[in-house]
Structure 1
Amino acid sequence: MLQDSESFTIEAVDSETEGGSLIPTPPKAAWLSPGNTLFNFFDGERHETVRAALNPHFSRRQVKKMEGAIKSKVNQVLDQVSSMPEFDIIYDLASPIVAGVVNDHMGFGLEDPAPIFRAMSDQSHDKKAEVDDQAIVTFKDGWIYIGEVVRARRAEPRDDVISALTLANDGQFTDLEIQGMCINIIFGAADTAAALTAHSLTFLADRPDLRAQLRDDPRQIPNFVREGLRYFNVAMGVARSAKRDVELGGAKIHKGDRVFALLPSANLDPARYDHPDEFDISRGALPHLGFGSGVHTCLGAGLAQAIVVAVIQALLERVETYSIDTAKVVGNPDKSFINLFHRAPMRIESFREPVSH
């Protein structure tokens, strides 16, 4: 379904149905006018043009160049949390790292980018009708700020992604379109890497043998992260609209029907994986759908994996033992889109080396 762009689209196919990757579209995100701004809401030539402009900035080669900056941000945040008696994996560790890396790479220039990333997260997966006024205000302020940055970079380009986008396609992208690209990148980065970090550290907390294995051979950490993407199923699913009548898996789907692809059903498929319910880092690079598939495969997949690898490696180098109070771990109750944590408290019990760098 995700790969058949002739039969399925992320767009609405008529005036009576919704588009987008969620069912239903979160009410808090309605004010964004996603069809006008977010490339996660349109297909065809327009989508191809946007992705062609963005892809080089998130390619494997580009992510490789960013490794030093990623490690520096990881160590900076680890320095901060290491002195805390208890910290939250999401809000104190993972989110500041992800927001900081994306902020520097894109050229947002935010002194503290974490709040706008949290506001995006709140509006993308919280489907309650009640509106968190502060999250709305924070995000609207961020939207206005990014527009100002786009205009400033168009006038005086710098060495960042926003500047490159103002020059791409002979400068034909409008300020609004570039704002939309930036918001979509925040949307994609706000949850996935942070949630995968929390799942990974929670999983490793009571597995000292596996921690020792990864510490002794850090080259296995990327395999651990790839298997985590399959096993933890951070991304739970994405929606599409049928462009025509089609039969899929024996089911008759009619034009205009909204269809939800439940990604764990693929990632835990016994026809594809031996013992799919077991975590096995020896699977290596076996394909999975942790980042979706088809034309809307996650743009930042490589960057997200690099960040999580860097966090795990740096933590294992510094920390001998840590604990997570599972009784205090709180997941999001609505897992129709993403499987994340609202709260994941962590306590470092012993260090391997001095914290200062």
Structure 2
Amino acid sequence: MRTRADVPVYRADIYSCQGILDPYPHYARLRELGPVVWLAKQRAYALPRYAECKAVLLDDRTFVSGAGVGLNPVANRLSKGTTLNSDGEDHSRRRALLARRLAPRALRAMRESIDQRAAAAVAQALARGRIDGVELAAALPMSVVPDLIGWPQHGRENLLRWAGATFDALGPLNRQSIRTAPSGVGMLQFTRRLARGRDLLPGSVGEDVLRATDDGKLSQVECPALLIDYLAPSLDTTISAIASAMYLFARHPEQWRLLGDEPARIPNAVNEVVRFESPLRAFARKVIRDVDIAGASIPAGSRVVVLYSSANRDPLEWDDPDTFDIRRDATRQLGFGHGIHGCAGQGLARLETQAMLAALVERVERIELAGAPEWAINNIIHRFERLPLQLIPAR
């Protein structure tokens, strides 16, 4: 069994601006080094390959989330009381409040409304011709998710900035997380005021959380943290997936023609988009007992970094992984996580992304890049800041 001294070391910073903007060369080098690599900058063990990532995600008794999934102690302390930062019964209790709203039956009831909203958003975009794909990608999640969570109309203008900051905070304590910290604090303060004033839409998840607090099932402290926990991931990850889909189909027009000829491929196309451009880069887990990973001895108290984006490009798992191909069976991609901490809102994210692709396929002959895309700088979320596109209407 190898000790830490025998584990290969990676000294480059995958959380630098360059590492965020162009992460895939870093991931390739990490995978080449081995299944477990010591990140010198973060003082944590990286898991760059698919098999080890999936195994760790399934072993929530050894690799826990309750000590935080971030790479800095401040964020891990502030995220106490969330589903993301909890294990066992605490995790199940917090997640159950959202589960009913996102169960298959509930999602089926939402489908018609989501399809209509997607069609309206695409029609408006077509009327403009040249658009920012990020704005189009945000249109549907921003019209669905805040209503579902119960967010009032005031404050919605800050949601995307706030949500991005909550993800930034879960990276290492670097320039980026420090720069966006005031936005994250602002969201927490605003949400605390909402909870105290009970200023949440009736019939929403937020109202469920308030009721659970009244009934003693949740503490007062948990309430605002859960509202953020339910809201933020449901925005940025879905916006990332929709924008990445448009970008990839603009870059690969033959794939767009294939999707137009066979719209039944849309669900798998979403999986391939999430595999190829995973919205989440990585989360950490704390190791609570000495454990062996692929022959490497990982001591209790260590942190391992589950590199979802790297696992989804692992050539040991995928044939020709750097090729975007919607014919590929991408159902086992890890972009939505796996195991008990798999994304609770992935059903809604899939529904929204599929609805947008269906509306685009029906009305758009081609998606073309109309300028140089700009990737956002975020420690955790892989997304565009700006995506100039030209939508060519179908004849």
- Cα distance in 2 for partners of 1:321, 1:240 equals 42
Q: Which structure 2 residues correspond to residues 1-357 of structure 1 after superposition, within 5 A? A: 1-12=56-67, 20-24=68-72, 33-35=78-80, 37-84=81-128, 86-90=130-134, 92-110=135-153, 113-125=156-168, 127=174, 128=176, 130-131=178-179, 135=183, 139-140=187-188, 142-144=190-192, 146-147=194-195, 151=198, 158-168=202-212, 170=215, 172-284=217-329, 286-325=331-370, 328-333=372-377, 337-348=380-391, 350-352=392-394
Q: Which segment is superposed worse, 169-178 or 278-287?
A: 169-178
Q: Contact 1:330 / 1:344 at 8 angstroms: preserved in 2? A: yes
**Aligned equivalent of 1:16:** none
Which amino acid is 1:351 matched to?
P
**Aligned equivalent of 1:15:** none
Q: Secondary structure at the match of 2:362?
A: helix
- Cα distance in 1 for partners of 2:89, 2:128 equals 50
Consecutive unaligned residues in structure 1, runs of 5 or more: 13-19
Measured against aligned partners, the alpha-carbon deviations of 1:238-296 in whole angstroms (never above 9, x if no partner) come to 10011011111111111111110112343233343333333332334631211111221
Q: Which segment is superposed worse, 282-291 or 200-209?
A: 282-291
- Cα distance in 2 for partners of 1:268, 1:55 equals 30
Q: Secondary structure at the match of 1:131?
A: helix
Which amino acid is 1:221 matched to?
I
- Cα distance in 1 for partners of 2:186, 2:125 equals 25
- Cα distance in 1 for partners of 2:364, 2:126 equals 9
- Cα distance in 2 for partners of 1:83, 1:239 equals 44
- Cα distance in 1 for partners of 2:124, 2:229 equals 29
Q: Contact 1:246 / 1:253 at 8 angstroms: preserved in 2? A: yes
Measured against aligned partners, the alpha-carbon deviations of 1:288-314 in whole angstroms (never above 9, x if no partner) come to 211111221111111111111111111
Q: Contact 2:149 / 2:230 at 8 angstroms: preserved in 1? A: no
- Cα distance in 2 for partners of 1:142, 1:65 equals 31
Q: Secondary structure at the match of 1:82?
A: helix
- Cα distance in 2 for partners of 1:62, 1:272 equals 34
Q: Secondary structure at the match of 1:283?
A: coil
CA 1:68–1:138: 2 relative to 1, 3 Å:
farther
Measured against aligned partners, the alpha-carbon deviations of 1:126-152 in whole angstroms (never above 9, x if no partner) come to 652653587357525641453156x25
Identity of aligned residues (%): 28
Q: Contact 2:145 / 2:235 at 8 angstroms: preserved in 1? A: no
CA 1:122–1:347: 2 relative to 1, 3 Å:
farther
Q: Contact 1:118 / 1:190 at 8 angstroms: preserved in 2? A: no
Q: Secondary structure at the match of 1:75?
A: helix
Q: Contact 2:365 / 2:393 at 8 angstroms: preserved in 1? A: yes
**In the TM superposition, what is the alpha-carbon distance from 1:75 to its structure 2 partner?**
3.0
- Cα distance in 1 for partners of 2:155, 2:127 equals 20
CA 1:111–1:346: 2 relative to 1, 3 Å:
farther
- Cα distance in 1 for partners of 2:137, 2:194 equals 23
- Cα distance in 1 for partners of 2:210, 2:273 equals 36
Runs of 4+ in 1 over 6 A off after TM superposition: none
Which amino acid is 2:61 matched to?
E
CA 1:118–1:78: 2 relative to 1, 3 Å:
farther
- Cα distance in 2 for partners of 1:102, 1:83 equals 25
**In the TM superposition, what is the alpha-carbon distance from 1:223 to its structure 2 partner?**
0.9
Q: Secondary structure at the match of 2:179?
A: coil
Q: Contact 1:74 / 1:314 at 8 angstroms: preserved in 2? A: yes
- Cα distance in 1 for partners of 2:83, 2:233 equals 11
CA RMSD of aligned residues (A): 2.8
**In the TM superposition, what is the alpha-carbon distance from 1:189 to its structure 2 partner?**
1.6
**In the TM superposition, what is the alpha-carbon distance from 1:199 to its structure 2 partner?**
1.2
Q: Contact 1:95 / 1:114 at 8 angstroms: preserved in 2? A: no
Task: Give the structure-2-normalised TM-score.
Answer: 0.75
Number of residue pairs aligned between Structure 1 and Structure 2: 334
Consecutive unaligned residues in structure 2, runs of 5 or more: 1-55
Which amino acid is 2:342 matched to?
T
Which amino acid is 1:338 matched to?
I
CA 1:87–1:122: 2 relative to 1, 3 Å:
farther
Q: Which segment is superposed worse, 140-149 or 95-104?
A: 140-149
- Cα distance in 1 for partners of 2:294, 2:127 equals 53
CA 1:312–1:262: 2 relative to 1, 3 Å:
same
